[in-house]
Amino acid sequence: MMKRMRTVFEAAGGNEGMQRLAEAWHRRVMADEVVSHAFSHGFHTQHVERLAAYWAESLGGPTTYSDFYGDETSVVRLHSGNGEHDEMNRRAIACFDQALTDAGLAEDGTLRQVLHDYFAWATTTTMYRYHQSADEVPSGLRIPHWSWDGLEV
């Protein structure tokens, strides 16, 4: 019998690992003078928990985000219509890379690279695709899934 390979979610410590990473990333971006601007109008009181649930689902974990908070369309709309912000994207990715260390997820080079690749991809594509207007985001988008091999299609 073939052994099932762990998902990225499992390798990153499951829900606890995602929570640590979301907390660490949120701390980093709030301290960053450019990225924190995205939160200058406030953010949901459960932002960290929702972010952890979203990342968990994206990386092979439970469907908590879709079951309780929304779909990909709602997430992308939250991140759309803000104009071009390449510098903010670069800094958000740098904060994520630092958060991997903060959350204890940087020791395994393969895991660190896969998580970096996922976050960089999401930041510069799905969350940035509709930078002109949130009205352009189509309904019914599903949360993309990321594996050890990248985007699952």
Distances in whole angstroms, Cα of residue 2 to Cα of each of 34, 61, 105: 47, 21, 27
- Interval 13-29: pLDDT, tens: 999 999 999 999 999 99
Q: Considering the entire predicted model, what is its pTM?
A: 0.92
Q: Do 20 and 104 touch, CB atoms closer than 8 A?
A: yes
Report the C-alpha gap between 97 and 57 in whole angstroms: 20
> What pLDDT score does 153 carry?
83
Distances in whole angstroms, Cα of residue 7 to Cα of each of 13, 110, 137: 10, 13, 29
Q: Would you list the domain boundaries of the chain? A: 13-36+46-137
- The confidence band for 37, taking pLDDT boundaries of 50, 70 and 90, is confident
Name which of 4-8, 55-59, 146-150 the model is least confident about: 4-8
Question: CATH number of the domain at 13-36+46-137, please?
Answer: 1.10.490.10
- Interval 56-99: pLDDT, tens: 999 999 999 999 999 999 999 988 988 889 999 999 999 999 99
Residue labelled with tokens 């912000």: 85
